[in-house]
Amino acid sequence: MSIRQLLLALIALSLVASFAHAQEETAEEVPLGEDGEDSIEEERDPNAISGVFGRAIFDGQDLLGVPRFPAGEKVYTTIGFANDVKNPAYDVFFVSAHITRLGDHLNHFQNFSGIRHDRAVARGETATFRYTFTPHEALEPMEYNLVVRLFFRNDNNQTFAAVAYNSTIIVEEPLGTDPKTIMTFLTIGAIIAAVAYVINLRRPKTSKPRATKKVEAEVSGTSTAAFDPEYVSKEHLNFREALLTRKSSASPVKRR
């Protein structure tokens, strides 16, 4: 059995137990006829909606605590719908929800999108429905009142509503950064980059002196020639040295 199937089974058992307890509390003494049998007619009013029970359970929330939902995040809900054995069959066709401020049940603060269903719930049957809604990301973190309702109809196409949840919830701060905040940061970053680029263009440029390669100077008589010994062959260097030595020894010193 999967976790989802186990959860649905637990919800169904909880709905049946709650429904039975509610029936015991509202039970009245039934008058008996002469034959000792119930004097109530077997068929009930098809327009009556007594004996219908709905309950909403939110995924990941403590059943005994106040549900807490981050703004801008999806809320997954399982809704149970129990139909009494003495009721006619009903067709559940719509689920919707809205929130209001505490103490103000007339003005809807946010209407959530409704979800259409087409589920026939026979007498004595319990059915479950999934519903998803998202508190707006701009909601102020505080307590609100949430109302979740199921809409159903009978064979005469008369529509009724059952309240599955009508109590307090807490809307908290968003978990992550919303798209509007991301676009704001990107815009600020682009402006800073543009300003830095303009300042860099207007900054005066300083010319750097070009590096010059030092070369050795060859002194021969009164002339100076620049050369790089690395690019001169060894034979030419030996010839040059011999030539310079010969010139220096052949030059007479004139005296008066």
Query: In whole angstroms, what is the distance from residue 70 CA to residue 170 CA?
Result: 8
Tell me the average pLDDT across 194-206: 76
Of 2.40.10.220, 2.60.40.3880, 3.30.70.1400, 3.30.1240.10, which CATH number belongs to 3-26+49-172? 2.60.40.3880
Q: Residue by residue, what is the 3-state secondary structure of 72-98?
A: CCCEEEEEEEEECCCCCCEEEEEEEEE
Q: Using a CB cutoff of 8 Å and minimum separation of 24, what contacts does 6-11 make?
A: 7/78, 8/78, 8/128, 11/55, 11/57, 11/78, 11/80, 11/128
CA 248/CA 24 separation, integer angstroms: 137
CA distance 166 to 45: 27
Predicted confidence band at 176 (pLDDT cuts at 50, 70, 90)? low
Which residues face 98 on adjacent strands?
A: 111, 147
CA distance 58 to 171: 14
Q: Which of 25-34, 96-105, 173-182 has the lowest mean pLDDT?
A: 25-34
Q: Is 9 helix (H, G, I), strand (E, B) or coil?
A: helix
Q: Alpha helix (H) ranges present in 26-82?
A: none
Give the Cα separation of 3 and 9 in Å (integer).
10
Domain ranges of the chain: 3-26+49-172
Taking only the tens place, the pLDDT of each residue in 203-222 is 776 655 555 555 444 444 44
Which residue type sits at 243?
Answer: L
Which of the pair, 253 or 63, is modelled with greater confidence?
A: 63
The angle at the Cα of 24, spanning 18 to 29, to the nearest 5 degrees, equals 160
Q: What is the pLDDT of residues 81-106, one digit of tens each?
A: 999 998 999 999 999 999 999 988 88
For the record, the structure tokens of 16 come out as 């049946």
Q: Which helix (H) or strand (E) holds 187?
A: helix 179-202
Global confidence as pTM = 0.52
